Amino acid sequence: MKTYILIILFCLGVNTFANAQKKIPTAQELTVKNIDELNERLELSPTQKSVIYNYVFDMYRQQLELVKKQQAGSSKEEDVTRFYKFQNETNDNIKNILKGDQIAEFDKLQEERLNGDNKKKKGKKGKNKEEEPVTGISGLKSQN
């Protein structure tokens, strides 16, 4: 009886561990998420959407290949450099497709991504602006 209970507990533990591991999203999932965000912010035409989809899909496919190489331990510094170069080319190609105000909004979006800003963080910062701790010299002076 004890062995049956131990076997059941072992199976439950293995199942829990297997479900707890994070799964890497596919290039298609990442592309759809990115295109949805771009479409929401830039109001893309159907033609723009399909062309940008192809560029972004290729970029994410190469990114996932690089991640797999890094996990296997076979990636080189050249691979990372090549990926960043490809990423910059992709962004330039996307800018060539966009028109007027869309380019400015795309640049703003890229800047937000580089700074790590997103909607959730902005909302929290805006609401709790008065509660943010003061640091540095001004923080020491205000404690008097």
pLDDT at 17 over 60: yes
Mean pLDDT, range 92-104, rounded to an integer: 91
**pTM of structure:** 0.64
pLDDT (0 to 100) of residue 2: 76
Mean pLDDT, range 44-69, rounded to an integer: 91
Q: Does residue 52 or residue 75 have the better pLDDT?
A: 52
Share of the chain above pLDDT 70, in %: 76
Q: Does residue 31 or residue 129 have the better pLDDT?
A: 31
pLDDT at 95 over 80: yes
Q: For the chain, what is the radius of gyration of the CA atoms?
A: 23
